[in-house]
Amino acid sequence: MRTETTDPAVRHDALILFDVTDGNPNGDPDGGNRPRVDGESGHGIVTDVCLKRKIRDTIGLAAEHSGLDAGRYQVFVEAGHALNTRTAESYTATGLELKARSLTAEQAEGARGWLCQRYVDIRLFGAVLSTGDTKALGQIRGPLQFGMARSIDPVLPVSHAITRVTQTRQADLDKGESTEMGSKWTVPYGLYRAQFHYSAALARRTGVNADDLTMLYRTLLNMFDHDRTATRGVLALRGLYVFNHADAFGNAPAQTLLDRIRVGKLPGCRAPRSFADYAVTADVKDLPAGVTIDPLHG
């Protein structure tokens, strides 16, 4: 990993490629947990929220393995913890009166700063804090913005009927029933492409440092290995390309850089069923002045 790739003072634009085999990468709760698809084109969708959840679930482990201060890599949006309780802790820690209708700019900045130092996902993604008794905190705009992932080609979700050898209710067993039916959705195969963008200007406000970016990239490289379930099938990272700029403003529009990474099916392949059915090419011979690329994977 190059030094410029983890420099928090410059802009970064990055592309991620990952695939799924016989699994559901992101079910839609409004659609019976069916894999998300673009209804018009049939392309698979994985939401930015889903990707950030995987990062949140893994980045603390990455920091612990690297010997970093665990207190700085806590996660704000975490199962089993109320957000209002955590924002209220920032008032207590900085000596503010809970339920205060208004705060001075310095008081609000102090409370937001305490949260940023404690929670890595707030430093990276930002947070809405204007809930409960801490409405005066407003929100923190994070420097890292993820887009939704979209499959390179259309995917065809498949529903599988499954059976279980025991019942949920004792009453059904008493009636002599011996099995129970269910179903699960999978995508036979899909290669997905997502991108994210890092703003050094916003990172100065939340306190992102080089360790945070290092942990982010290590998390992206390994997060699918720490998020395995039978439902998700086999998820694997297939590419991580980071374009680094020379300063916080940037040296080229992001999309002109990310479009240099091209993915296409091999000739004669009708229905891709593995990553080997694709060719990935990176056109990086004539990058704009001040831009470098770090292919962390791929």
Confidence class of residue 12 from pLDDT cuts 50, 70 and 90? very high
* Size (the chain), residues: 298
Closest CA to 167 of 176, 156, 157: 176
**Amino acid letter for position 171:** A
* Whether 63 contacts 73, CB under 8 Å: yes
Tell whether the model's pLDDT for residue 99 goes beyond 80: no
**Whole-angstrom distance, CA of residue 216 vs CA of residue 144:** 10
Average pLDDT of 8-30?
A: 97
Tell whether the model's pLDDT for residue 10 goes beyond 80: yes
* Whether 56 contacts 75, CB under 8 Å: yes
Average pLDDT of 13-28?
A: 98
Query: What's the pLDDT score for residue 14?
Result: 98
How far is CA 205 from its chain centroid?
Answer: 21
Q: Which residues contact 178 (CB under 8 A, 6 or more apart)?
A: 165, 167
**Whole-angstrom distance, CA of residue 103 vs CA of residue 110:** 10
Query: What's the pLDDT score for residue 132?
Result: 84
Confidence class of residue 100 from pLDDT cuts 50, 70 and 90? confident
Instruction: Sort strands 234-244 and 180-198 into parallel, antiparallel or unpaired.
Output: unpaired
Give the model confidence (pLDDT) of 133-183 as tens digits: 888 899 999 999 999 999 999 999 999 999 888 888 899 888 888 888 888
Query: What's the pLDDT score for residue 179?
Result: 83
Q: Which residues contact 5 (CB under 8 A, 6 or more apart)?
A: 12, 213, 217, 242, 244, 294, 296
- Specify burial of residue 163 (Cβ count, 10 A radius: 0-12, 13-18, 19+): exposed
Quote the percentage of the chain above a pLDDT of 70: 100
Query: What's the pLDDT score for residue 232?
Result: 94
- Which helix or strand (DSSP H or E) is residue 282 part of? strand 278-282
Query: What's the pLDDT score for residue 164?
Result: 83
Give the model confidence (pLDDT) of 64-97 as tens digits: 999 999 999 999 999 999 999 999 999 999 999 8
Coil, strand or helix: which one is 126?
strand
Confidence class of residue 101 from pLDDT cuts 50, 70 and 90? confident
**Whole-angstrom distance, CA of residue 56 vs CA of residue 215:** 11
| Per-domain residue ranges of the chain | 3-172+182-297
Tell whether the model's pLDDT for residue 48 goes beyond 90: yes
Confidence class of residue 131 from pLDDT cuts 50, 70 and 90? confident
Q: Which residues contact 183 (CB under 8 A, 6 or more apart)?
A: 159, 160, 161, 162
Give the chain's mean pLDDT. Answer: 95
Return left, alpha or beta for 109; rule: phi > 0 is left, psi -120 to 50 is alpha, else beta: alpha
Tell whether the model's pLDDT for residue 46 goes beyond 80: yes
Lowest mean pLDDT, pick from 209-218, 226-235, 250-259: 226-235
Closest CA to 193 of 155, 225, 238: 238
